[in-house]
Structure 1
Amino acid sequence: MSKRPVAVPNVSRAGLTEKGQIMLSISGDQLAADNRVIIDPTGYYPNNSDFDGFAFDEIRISSPNGDEHTLSFNEDGVFLVDGESVVKDKVTVTSPNGTKYNVIVDDDGKLTTEKEVENDNKD
């Protein structure tokens, strides 16, 4: 993967073209090969190298109906959605009334559920 070009203070520029595109110039030279369109009326066009070296603690996304959700990892590397583990050694599902159940699979592939015990002792 190519590396993100180093921006030069007071030289690197972003600007609007006549076509309504946002142009990015790392070197400041309007004719340089590193110039490229990053946003135009049809969409956003990132390169993989645009994210080289970035580290995000969490990513927030919005669903089509406006709900916001957070994606992250805990210190053990478990993937979390809204602070809750999606999959670990068990899967937790929520019934329509809000009751949480753990789904368990045995060595023969048989699925069972058990009601999750709520911990009222939150420290």
Structure 2
Amino acid sequence: MDVDRLTLPEKHSTLRVVPMPADLNQNGDVFGGWVMAQVDVAGAIPAMRRARGRVATVSVNSFLFKQPVSVGDIVSLYADIVRVGATSITVKVEVYAERNYADPVVVKVTEAELTYVAIDAAGKKRQLPAEKA
């Protein structure tokens, strides 16, 4: 497989994880569901900060798997808010894998866009607070 050599984005990752053997499917790749769960966690972090409280995932607007993830890859997830509504926050998440420590390679493995809604203690939708200056 031809691999484009990339570098990690020049910003702080939202989340960084390493998949373990228990995260593999029958073909030896990391389960797509494991990757999706990590993306949901990473996307929720900036959403919770912006909402200043609890959020719930309301939709996965897009999800594209570009390359498989393997055990031992250092998986870095970058999440940025792309849209803010009255109660909702849409976040773009990009996922990169660092692999092959002897000759390091960085590949973009996934990109997704998710929408979260701010919720109160009872789990009901609530208005987002005004943005901090």
TM-score (ref. length: structure 2):
0.21
Kindly indicate which of the two structures has a greater share of residues assigned to helix.
2
Larger Rg over CA atoms: 1
Higher relative contact order (CA 8 A, sep 6+): 2
